[in-house]
């Protein structure tokens, strides 16, 4: 993984690196490897993740079709 530092701006480069690591799932994997996870616990966790993923996809599909209201957008102050 590579991050380019522009004009010696280390803070911005670190933010970009953290976002990339987050997207790749590195933090989640590090947290999971802290302790041993039994195979039965792993199976239950993966099934729960699959259910959440399918529900999210179904909800987004219904929103695109207009059957559910779209989520309200939050305006951020800068």
For 6-49, the pLDDT digits (tens) are 999 999 999 999 999 999 999 989 998 999 999 999 999 999 99
User: 17 and 41 in one domain?
Assistant: no
User: 31 and 42 in one domain?
Assistant: no
User: 27 CB contacts (<8 Å, ≥6 apart)?
Assistant: 21
User: 42 and 22 in one domain?
Assistant: no
Q: Give the chain's domain count.
A: 2
This prediction's pTM:
0.60
Which DSSP helix (H) or strand (E) runs through 27? helix 26-32
User: 55 and 29 in one domain?
Assistant: no
User: 30 and 48 in one domain?
Assistant: no
- The Cα 67–Cα 65 span in angstroms is 6
User: 41 and 31 in one domain?
Assistant: no
Which residues form the domain of 54? 37-68
Question: Contact at 8 Å (CB) between 27 and 21?
Answer: yes
């Amino acid at each position: 993984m590579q991050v380019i530092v522009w004009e010696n701006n280390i803070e911005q480069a670190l933010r970009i690196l953290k976002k990339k690591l987050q997207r790749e799932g590195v933090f989640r994997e590090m947290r999971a490897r802290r302790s041993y996870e039994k195979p039965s616990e792993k199976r239950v966790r993966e099934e729960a993740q699959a259910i959440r993923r399918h529900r999210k996809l179904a909800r987004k599909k219904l929103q695109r079709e207009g059957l559910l209201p779209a989520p309200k957008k939050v305006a951020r102050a800068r």
